[in-house]
Amino acid sequence: MSATAPLTLTGIHAGYGNRTVLSNVSFALQPGTLTGLIGPNGAGKSTLIKVILGLLPPWQGEVRAFGEAVHAVRAAIGYMPQIELVDWAFPVSVEELVTLGRYGRLRRLRPPSAEDRAVVRDALERVNLWDLRRRQIGELSGGQQRRLLLARALARSAELLLLDEPLAGLDVGAQEDLERLLRELATAGSTLLVATHDLHHVAHSYDDVLCLNGRIIAHGPPETVLTESVLRETFGRALVLLDAGGKSYGIRS
């Protein structure tokens, strides 16, 4: 894959019907970085991810992944949706769901190859779910289900990963486990964009933060972006700004 930025958006305007959600959104992600996408509910985080994936055509602007149009490199992009968007009653096993993540790399009407099966096993082992591979997906706990969705994204052998609220509803231990895995993926060279409301983890564990509220408010390292003025402009309400370990983060009050 090209050494060009894994993801570049230029002048994106998008929305639904006559309602504008994103206005003049431009940014680029660098290889091997973990970026937190933060903003209030309704700020356009999920809409932005849909635009990047090509699920929602922008009214104006351009999305490039690795210097190419997204449809040309779709197999290099992994997506982890919000857990509420998945039908967990669907009669499919853990292993079968992750195998579906190989769809973009499987030749039409061909069964998974030995390589595909090996990739699926590696993805499940990385998220500690291999021993549960024959379980129906609805039998997993909330934390396990999120790790399963991440494994499906990993099975694409994706270099760019888009995650929509992966930490929502998890207890502290499960959050820490998942955050540790995200950091390992970035260290190994993957580029991750993570929509999240968890400012604490973004402040202490992420390389960059992208503040969104219909438009880009700020983009850069947490220690320079997570200031009181930026957070107030992003969330539009009072915030308590805390400092820890040389980094700052805000908590909505």
213: left (phi over 0), alpha (psi -120 to 50) or beta: beta
pLDDT category, 242, cuts 50, 70, 90?
Answer: low
State which H helix or E strand residue 48 sits in.
Answer: helix 45-53
Please state, in angstroms and rounded to a whole number, the distance separating the CA atoms of residues 202 and 183.
11
Tell which residue, 103, 104, 27, has the closest CA to residue 73.
104
| DSSP per-residue letters across 56-97 | S--SEEEEEETTEEGGGSGGGEEEE--GGGS-TTSS-BHHHH
Average pLDDT over residues 128-151: 92
How many CB atoms within 10 Å of residue 86? 16
The encoded tokens of residue 67 equal 């210097």
Residue 240 has pLDDT above 60, yes or no: no
Confidence of residue 198 (pLDDT cuts 50, 70, 90): confident
105 has a pLDDT exceeding 70: no
**Structure-token pair, residue 15:** 């929305």
- For the four alpha carbons of 202, 206, 211 and 214, in that order, the dihedral sign comes to negative
Sheet holding 7-16, edge to edge: 19-29, 7-16, 60-65, 68-69
Check whether 30 has a pLDDT greater than 90: yes
What is the model's pLDDT at position 63? 97
Q: Are 37 and 210 in contact (CB under 8 A)?
A: yes
Instruction: Name the E strands within the chain.
Output: 7-16, 19-29, 34-38, 60-65, 68-69, 77-80, 160-164, 191-195, 208-212, 216-220, 239-244, 247-252
The per-residue pLDDT of the chain, averaged, comes to: 88
**Domain edges within the chain:** 7-252
Contact (Cβ atoms closer than 8 angstroms) between residue 18 and residue 27:
no
CA angle 105-107-3, nearest 5°? 30
The values of phi and psi at residue 36, to 5°, are -90, 130
The pLDDT confidence band at residue 1, using thresholds 50, 70 and 90, is very low
Confidence of residue 176 (pLDDT cuts 50, 70, 90): confident
Kindly indicate the confidence band of residue 248, based on its pLDDT and cuts at 50, 70 and 90: low
The correct CATH number of 7-252 out of 3.40.1110.10, 3.50.50.100, 3.40.50.300, 3.40.640.10 is 3.40.50.300
